[in-house]
Amino acid sequence: MCAISGIYDLEPIRLCYLNEALAFTPDVVRRTSPARLAPRAPAPLLLALGAAEGPEYHRQTTELAAAWRAHEVPIELMDLEDHDHFSIVGELQSPFSALPQAIQRQAGLG
């Protein structure tokens, strides 16, 4: 399993102007935020984000890693230098870059 530059806790969204359109309730946040849920199985999780991401992305990634490690999920964190929320997916274009190689390893292909 791989998550890239994710928002894993929806509470900050519920508390900001975006919630005018989304209408998240505290119950929706609790039921749909990965950081607040127990994983269904202890399958390995690769969490990738760009080093140039904002602090909220780093906080949420770190908190998800800690929460799921408490459920004995093996976590690999990748903080890719020179990338942000928009550029990091470009790493998937080259099978020789670190992110696709990590995904292939996790899938037993590398």
Q: Cα–Cα distance between 41 and 38 in angstroms, integer?
A: 9
- Contact assessment for residue 68 and residue 39, using Cβ atoms and an 8 Å cutoff: yes
Give the mean model confidence (pLDDT) for residues 6-31: 96
Q: Is the pLDDT of residue 110 over 70?
A: no
Range of the domain at 23: 2-106
Cα–Cα distances in Å, from 16 out to 19, 24, 29, 36?
6, 10, 13, 19
Which residues partner with 13 through β-bridges? none
pLDDT tens per residue across span 20-75 = 999 999 999 999 999 999 998 889 999 999 999 999 999 999 999 999 999 999 99
Domain containing residue 11: CATH number: 3.40.50.1820
- What's the number of domains the chain is made of? 1
